[in-house]
Amino acid sequence: METIKGLKRTDYCSNLRIDDCGKEVTLFGWAQRQRDLGNLIFIDLRDRTGIVQLSFSDKTNRDTFEKAGSVRSEYVLAVKGKVVERESKNPELPTGDIEIEVTELRIISKAQTPPFEISKADEVGDETTLKYRYLALRNEKLTKNILMRNKIAKIAREYFYDNDFIEIETPMMIKSTPEGARDYVVPSRIHNGKFYALPQSPQIYKQLLMIAGFDRYIQLARCFRDEDLRADRQPEFTQIDLEMSFVDTDDIMEMAEGFIKKLMKETINIDIPTPLPKMTYADAMNKYGSDKPDTRFDMLINDISSWAVKTDFGVFKNAVEEGGTVRCIVAKNAASVYSRKKIDKLTEYAKGIGAKGLAYIRWADENPNCSFAKFLKDGELEELLSSLGAEKGDCVFIISGKTALTLSVLGALRLAVAKELDIIPQGKWNYLWITQMPFFEYDEESGEWVAMHHPFTMPMEECIPYLDTDKAKVRAKAFDLVLNGTELSSGSMRITDCELQNKMFELLGMSQEEIDAKFGFLVEAYKYASPPHGGMGIGLDRLAMLICKADSLRDVTAFPKVQNASELMSGAPTYIDDIQLEELGIKIAKAESEKDE
């Protein structure tokens, strides 16, 4: 193979334009495609910026021409040549007006035939493209996504540096402390039998930095959570993590809004009006059935409990009389789409997420078809439809039961129906703050009140008297940033009083011994005076996913994990040998089925 000795890149492939005609250039890249037309050869040369066409003709040195004829897809090439205007222009390429008339060609590295065509990688199954991820990353779409992610990180650093934030790295191997999800743990060789945890977030350390006097902290922090995966979740992720002293919630939100405004303008040239709208948690749940509502379309949830309790339909009456609720959504112009078969399918979906059933009204013909009509008295159906503003052509979907579950199910149905009807507008960027979050949430399984956020979140001052008497009334000085139905960030003011912090741990069921063992160093730190402080972590990966209009975090992550948290390319996780296990003082308990193998 040849070398690049004596050659220095002058330009990237996709940066050349018609104004560069006559310019002598040196380019490096991969051959995306070679087209041999006999007396003409064209090669599409690709680097991270895009593609430019190389041309070889009867003017080209014979050795160079023959070498071009031997080039195959994915060969690494170095070329020198002159930018010239193309005879047959390609308006779909940024470089479609020009080509490189090659005077020197070097084949730096040959490639065997790849397992899929790079330009069509997004048409190939995940199992193959993730196994050969280094090849899939050569695809223009994935390359652009990774470059966009880099741009977001760059803008974040620039913005927060300009606002006097200090970037400080916090440890990657820390003490295991309860923060909501399961920890990934790292065994210690030196301290046999003891373990570090990989951080779910830098939460405690950034609070300690505030106590230390670094009043504005920023970090592009790697975080790790051992939880079930989905399209917008990976076991390891990056958040734009910040903390500020001598502030309140409005100051933190205003700082974040400035970043969002700059980011959207500099990445996709969208002007986001600020201040961003705010919605209380209670309103979000009651209107949208979600604490991360997609506000790009209507179809709000209606409370019809007062109407339902007057009917003779036992399912509705019992739900209300037992302290629950009856609520619905009105899907405009849905009757032509939702046949009885599709409604049955929607019912199964509702049951799959916790509902006992789905009542409906489908108004396709002159008279509406109501699934519970036989339980209604004359005029009751008309009364309901009138109050809802439902008309011929609409569908009404109704859920009853415990309030929290009813709202959650309707929130999911609202999204499913909107997707089916294709009414979610594209090109809208509805950022939204969710405020006045509950401090506690009731766990039906355990019968206990648990923290909705991490246990360092400050309750609203007016709610502190309810800590011992009525946990349902306690709201937190916490807020979430939502974009088009995706949660991008959680933030809050922090508890800075050591006695209150200790009390919060106790209210969450920890004994004093457990508090001292897990959080003693933090409670101790607060005894030496702390400034009022708060912060948030903005999901860099999710931001990139939404800005790139990608379907999954995999599309903006260089080397992602699949649903079972494994990486197909390298085969991680994998076994380690007995010598390593012995050094760590660890024995692996094999399942019965493995013992005889």
Residue-wise pLDDT for 103-155, tens only, equals 999 999 999 999 999 999 989 998 999 999 999 999 999 999 999 999 999 99
Helices (H), 278-400: 281-288, 305-308, 314-321, 340-352, 380-388
Please give the Cα distance from 434 to 432 (Å, whole number): 6
Residue 204, amino acid: I
Helices and strands of the chain, counted as H and E runs: 17, 22
Identify the three-state secondary structure at position 453. coil
Secondary structure element (H or E) that encloses residue 487, with its range: strand 486-493
Cβ-contact 256, 237 below 8 angstroms: no
Peptide bond into 425 cis (omega under 30): no
For 418-425, which contacts have Cβ atoms below 8 Å and span 24 or more sequence positions? 418/294, 418/297, 418/299, 420/337, 420/338, 420/342, 421/331, 421/333, 421/334, 421/337, 423/297, 423/299, 424/294, 424/296, 424/297, 425/296, 425/297
Pick from 552, 551, 559: nearest CA to 233: 552
CA distances from 286 to 293, 398, 433 (A): 11, 14, 16
Please give the Cα distance from 297 to 420 (Å, whole number): 13
Cβ-contact 45, 52 below 8 angstroms: yes
Q: What is the pLDDT of residue 518?
A: 87
Q: What is the pLDDT of residue 179?
A: 64
On the CB side of 436, CA atoms within 13 Å amount to: 12
| CA-angle at 172, arms to 168 and 173, nearest 5° | 135
- Prediction pTM value: 0.91
Q: What is the pLDDT of residue 510?
A: 85
187 phi-psi bin (left φ>0, alpha ψ -120 to 50, beta other): beta
Residue 253, amino acid: M
Peptide bond into 532 cis (omega under 30): no
Q: What is the pLDDT of residue 595?
A: 47
Cβ-contact 13, 95 below 8 angstroms: yes
Per-residue confidence in pLDDT tens, the chain, 597 aa: 899 999 999 999 999 999 999 999 999 999 999 999 999 999 999 999 999 999 999 999 999 999 999 999 999 999 999 999 999 999 999 999 999 999 999 999 999 999 999 999 989 998 999 999 999 999 999 999 999 999 999 999 999 999 999 999 999 999 988 666 789 999 999 999 999 999 999 999 999 999 999 999 999 999 999 988 777 789 999 999 999 999 999 999 999 999 999 999 999 999 999 999 999 999 999 999 999 999 999 999 999 999 999 999 999 999 999 999 999 999 999 999 999 999 999 999 999 999 999 999 999 998 999 999 999 999 999 999 999 999 999 999 999 999 999 999 999 999 999 999 999 999 999 999 999 999 888 877 777 777 787 889 999 989 888 888 888 899 999 999 999 999 999 999 999 988 888 888 888 788 899 888 888 899 899 999 999 999 999 999 999 999 999 999 999 999 999 989 999 999 999 999 989 998 898 888 865 545 454
Q: What is the pLDDT of residue 455?
A: 84
Please give the Cα distance from 298 to 330 (Å, whole number): 10
Cβ-contact 5, 76 below 8 angstroms: no
Pick from 93, 98, 115, 224: nearest CA to 170: 224
Residues 6+ apart with CB under 8 A from 233: 227, 553
